Chains A and B, each alone.
Chain A
Amino acid sequence: MIEEKCYHCGDDCDSSKIIFDNHTFCCNGCKAVYEILQANNLNEYYQFEIQPGVKSNEKGNTDFNFLDNAEIASRLLLYHDQDISRVSFSIPQIHCSSCIWLLENLTRLHQGVVRSVVDFSKKRTDITFKNSEITLRQLVKLLSSIGYQPNLNEVSESLTKLLDKSIYYKIGVAGFCFGNIMLLAFPEYLGIDESFNDFKSFFGYISLVLSIPVFFYSGIDYIKNAIKGINQRFINIDIPIALGMIALFLRSIYEILTYTGAGYLDSLSGLIFFLLLGKWFQQKTYDSLSFERDYKSYFPIAVNKIINEALVSIKIEDLKIGDKIEIRNNELIPADAVLKKGEAYIDYSFVTGESKPVRKKEGDILFAGGRQVGTKIELELVKEVNNSYLTQLWNQDVFQKEDNSNDYNSLSNKVSKYFTIVVLIISLFTFVFWWIKNPEIMWNALTAVLIVACPCALALSTPFTLGNMTRIMGRNGLYLKHTSIIEKLSNISSIVFDKTGTITHSGMMNVAYVGEKLSDLEKIAIHSLVTSSVHPLSISIKNYLKQKEVKKVVDFGEVAGSGLEGVVDGLKLKLGSAAFLNYSVDAKDEAKKSKVFISFNGEVKGYFEFDQLYRSGLKETIKKLGTKYDIHLFTGDNNSQESYLTNELNIKSLYFNQSPIDKLSNIKKIQQKGKRVLMIGDGLNDAGALKQSDVGIAISDNIHQFSPACDAILSATKFAEIPYFISLAKKSISIIKWSFIISFLYNVIGISYAVTGMLSPIVAAILMPLSSITIVVFTTFSTNYIAKQKI
């Protein structure tokens, strides 16, 4: 078969390609978008990039009725008055320049849109529109119709995240003053002749004025942090920095005002400038990724409540026990409820990772987080949204704790504790020594020691190493929430995997046909039958058969939970469970795997077998990790796969039938044995375990969509690289240790000058930047070097 790519989205057009306007499309969705753009003369969309489109996602709520509710709408809008409104949507589908072009030309698609601006790095679009021409609901539908359905759950969340620009201001001010002070200090270094003396004090005063904003604006945070540390009886790295800064500043003021010297203001401003650069470098964040999602990001904003036979759209927080709600095809159940009316087919893939729908009868309890597949159903709530089976996970203690990124146990804080004590002892010793021997220079000697001991290089080692490593990991498909995760990752001793969706492919099934060989005609007949069904197994069979032709099916029938039947070309087909076909099989065999039997005119020909598809490279990855760490596996499923997992993958510690809360408490138990746990999971059901573990990595097929709160997001295609990432983390820590040694060497040289009380400004001005630059160069080169060495 010739594989052709869809003109719109670039997917392979296998079974059902559509030729339209001399272009090939993979599905009607893509064709529809093309038609809309064609009709509005927006064809340039296809010129900036080849196959720029996004395959439309048919799942999810598509009518957006709730956006007509003024209260909900006002929560989304940034601004609105009588005439115009402004809204900022998060659109995860934005990925290329064509996207920017199309979204910024929305005006050409609808007159009501006044202005539309894309922020590519955050994957957001800011739209201003006229209320008289288009409503918020119509706008969202318009975006959905061209394949850019906004993620409405993330609007309110991101608005509160205020951008902190102060680091840029501080770097700007410090850099400006540093440069100018340095220029003014040059004549002093070079020792120009007598005539310079007239200007000396003038230069000194200007430097002093320039250093005031550096000290009191750019550098004040270090002093504040040091005070905070002292108040909490905790010696952090900011204490020696603050001591050095104060010593530099006071001694410079003294020297300038008494005309005894030029001061060290160039060193002071340079120090603060470099420190701020390091801080900024460490702040690498992935703006478009969200590491904080809880169930609210997955759940709908509103649901249809039934009040006196009529449907009213209400916010999900306002739901109460006893409320009757209507859930339509592909909508999520917001809270635990009893099924009152209709045929429920619940897909719990968000909760368990298992995408095979479960059939429920009237009177059964449905759990929050399930997605209805099929016709609409009526439910009566038995629990509130917050106390449902899945969502009560977020009431656990772990979720109440504030995330503390200022880690007291981090390597640099541990080292700086000893460092500070040693520096204080040396300076005290120097002070006492000169006090006895020559009190005239005791202050000079004391300040000189404090200045030189200022651990600028030490403070830069961690941010530059970890900052650069975070970038390297990001390029390789592991996106960290914060640089401190690297250190935690290097310390782990146990690894816990989730099964469904983590070590297996989510949504993808391995299909095999067992039985008498099917003729082409029979294949087409089966294909025609399954095309009419939306059941996931039908879709898997359809993809497996790879047929093109679809024939007319008469007398089509779908019996929920059992199978399909119909007549194609006079052939009477039955497809489904053994019971549905009145076919007897070994009961022992039946339970192991899902099977779908097929019969033609009452005669059973064979069956399709479905298997979970394990990720490629799984066995090698587990084997590699198993030699160094103890491996555990959690799964919400039963133990049907036990033999494969123990024998083939060699995982000894298996936990079956795990509820989300079980997973969390089992992580706790492993931690109580003194282990540091890395959890790798995917679904909302792993959210508790990911939070409780020392490092929680969420694995995701599409990193911009749907991953629970975690420390890092791993692109699913990079699953086999997990051992590589862990070894990178370990090597980063040894790089930090090496750069500590280098910076200590500089300090030893500097202090040996300083204890004599003879620190010339030029030595300080050379030594401090030199040590900083050495560290920056060393850490950057070595991190890049280890990243290239694949293990």
Chain B
Amino acid sequence: MSVIYLLILVSLVVAVCFLGAFLWAVKDGQYDDDYSPSVRILFDDDVKKSNKENLINSKNNLTINKSNSTIDN
């Protein structure tokens, strides 16, 4: 029966790890915003090929300038 001493101590150590994980999550800000992460995960993050070309283009010639010429003045 004396194995109970060991078991209880081990189980407490495991439980403390979970408590630590919870505190860490709070500190890390996981409970700050409960909406955006749920949406963010659904976004496609692979930029399509055409987009890449466009990005390179926009470096030299900001497309945005066409419609709003005051941006870079």
Contact = CB atoms under 8 A, between A and B. Distances in A.
Interface of A: 32, 35-36, 39-41, 44, 48, 63, 97, 100-101, 104, 108-111, 118-122, 138, 141-142, 145, 163, 165, 168-169, 172-173, 176, 180, 184, 195, 198-199, 202, 206
A172 B25 CA distance: 11
A119 B50 CA distance: 29
Given A110-B62, A120-B35, A163-B32, A36 B72 contact: no
A169 B22 CA distance: 8
Contacts of A39: 63-64, 66-67
Given A39-B63, A101-B43, A110-B62, 6 more contacts: A36-B67, A40-B54, A40-B64, A41-B50, A111-B55, A176-B18
A63 B72 CA distance: 11
A40 B67 CA distance: 12
Interface string B1-30: 100110010001001101100110011000
Interface of B: 1, 4-5, 8, 12, 15-16, 18-19, 22-23, 26-27, 31-36, 39-40, 42-44, 47-48, 50-51, 54-55, 58-59, 62-64, 66-68, 70-72
A172 B23 contact: yes
Contact of A100 (B12, B34, B39, B66): B39
Contact of B68 (A40, A121, A145): A145
Contacts of B44: 44
Contacts of A145: 64, 67-68, 71
Contact of B36 (A63, A118, A138, A172): A118
Contact of A40 (B8, B19, B43, B63): B63
A104 B63 contact: no
B7 to A, nearest CB: 11
A121 B35 contact: yes
A700 to B, nearest CB: 22
A184 B67 CA distance: 70
A104 B64 CA distance: 17
Contacts of B71: 138, 141-142, 145
A41 B48 contact: yes
Contacts of B68: 32, 36, 141, 145
A104 B40 contact: yes
Contacts of A198: 1
Given A32-B67, A40-B58, A172-B22, A119 B36 contact: yes
Contacts of B34: 121
Contacts of B36: 100, 118-121
A41 B48 CA distance: 9
Contact of A121 (B12, B33, B66, B72): B33
B15 to A, nearest CB: 6
Contacts of B35: 120-121
A36 B63 contact: yes
A180 B32 contact: no
A168 B26 contact: yes
Contacts of B70: 63, 141
A202 to B, nearest CB: 7
Contacts of B72: 138
A172 B19 contact: yes
A97 B32 contact: no
A195 to B, nearest CB: 7
B64 A142 contact: yes
Contacts of A195: 1
Contacts of A173: 19
Contact of B33 (A97, A122, A141): A122
A165 B51 contact: no
A44 B45 CA distance: 12
The 10 closest A-B pairs by CB, nearest first: A120-B36, A120-B35, A39-B63, A97-B39, A168-B26, A176-B19, A119-B33, A145-B68, A41-B51, A172-B22
A165 B25 CA distance: 11
A10 B22 CA distance: 42
Nearest to B1: A195
A111 B26 contact: no
Contacts of B58: 40, 109-111
Most buried by A among B1, B5, B36, B67: B36
A104 B31 contact: no
A26 B23 CA distance: 50
Nearest to A35: B67
A206 B67 contact: no
Contacts of A141: 68, 70-71
Nearest to A103: B36
A199 B32 contact: no
B51 A108 contact: yes
A193 to B, nearest CB: 12
Contacts of A163: 32
Given A32-B68, A138-B72, A169-B23, A104 B43 contact: yes
A209 B25 CA distance: 25
B53 to A, nearest CB: 9
Contacts of B4: 199
Contact of A36 (B18, B32, B64): B64
7 contacts: A32-B67, A41-B50, A97-B39, A108-B47, A108-B55, A119-B32, A169-B23
A165 B27 contact: yes
Nearest to A135: B72
Most buried by B among A100, A173, A184: A100
Nearest to A179: B15
Contacts of A44: 44
Nearest to B68: A145
A32 B67 CA distance: 7
A41 B66 CA distance: 15
Contact of A41 (B31, B42, B54, B59): B54
A609 B73 CA distance: 45
Contacts of A202: 5, 8
A122 to B, nearest CB: 7
Contact of B26 (A118, A120, A169, A180): A169
Given A145-B64, A169-B23, A176-B19, A111 B59 contact: yes
A462 to B, nearest CB: 24
